[in-house]
Structure 1
Amino acid sequence: MNSYAVFLRGINVGGINIKMADLKDALKSRPFSNVLTLLASGNVVLASELDTAGVKQEFEACLREAFGYDAWVVVLTAGRVSALVDACPYPPDDASTHTYLTLASDEAALSELYESGSALDGVELTLLGPEAIAWLAPTGGTLESPFSKLSAKAKYKAATTTRNLRTMVKVRDAAAGI
């Protein structure tokens, strides 16, 4: 049995509202156990005999069938979440900045995003691996930051999602307990 973290893209924003209790109930019919939802922004930890690709396929099918929307998720092993948190060179937050990790299910999309983001003036990015970029945003200005605007483009929608480093630490800690 493997432990996974599943990061949902775009729920509880833009009209797609899913209660975490309803999500947990929907997942009961799938090959998952020890399902735990974290926060209301679409973070789930679970155990499964499936591999990462299988968890992604089953999870997305469940979301489409139960909630009727074109769902995308990024699935990482619990060990990989821990390694990404440990590899992040930035602090969880300080008075002037917030640290984010953009996660991807498509290495090519993340690579393109990293290259495009690296070309922006005043943007500090660190490629943590083939599935994650760490970046900083000014406190109170995350959505207006150049990298946030870049990563929000429609072409990245199906492959990426972003989480604050504090959230990633909570997910890491919860996944370790499964």
Structure 2
Amino acid sequence: MVTCAENIGVPRGAVMFRHALLAVSSLRKEEILLGCSAKVEYLRNTFRWMDAEVGIAFSKYPLVLNKSKESLQRRSEFLISEVGLEPVYIAHRPVLLGFSLEDRLRPRYYVVRFLKENGLLKRDPIYYSVFKESDMTFKKKFIHPHKEAAPHLEKDYDAACIGEVPTNFIFT
């Protein structure tokens, strides 16, 4: 397990080494014996990362190894294809892969996209900041300032967070 964690990019003395060992320990014995290569290969292919980027992502967020292939695939499709983030951007901010797609990433993206398409944002936001903010801070920065122009926005956001897709968030 130690060798696997080190080979992916987290040296023994690193702050995240303990977390890396925890992530590796949850893998099947065969995966550990193979040096985590199957999971690394999947990450490389799914996110279009080079070996160095896999190492960067793992060293910053070792729990990425514990995500299911389906979960990673859905996040890749969303973040790269829909949001338009570059693979290297995601590799340097791998905690994005730990956020709930349905409860956080998608609803917040819908709010930002709605605001952009309706000319309510002065500049493009930094998506990492949009996604990492607490719910209260996100609403304070992106919803409350637009209460007059979009009085339905908070209600639509709350609905999106529980899995509904309000008509205001259906984009063509």
Q: TM-score, normalised by structure 1?
A: 0.31
Higher RCO by CA contacts (8 Å cutoff, separation 6 or greater)? 1
More strand by share: 1
More helix by share: 2
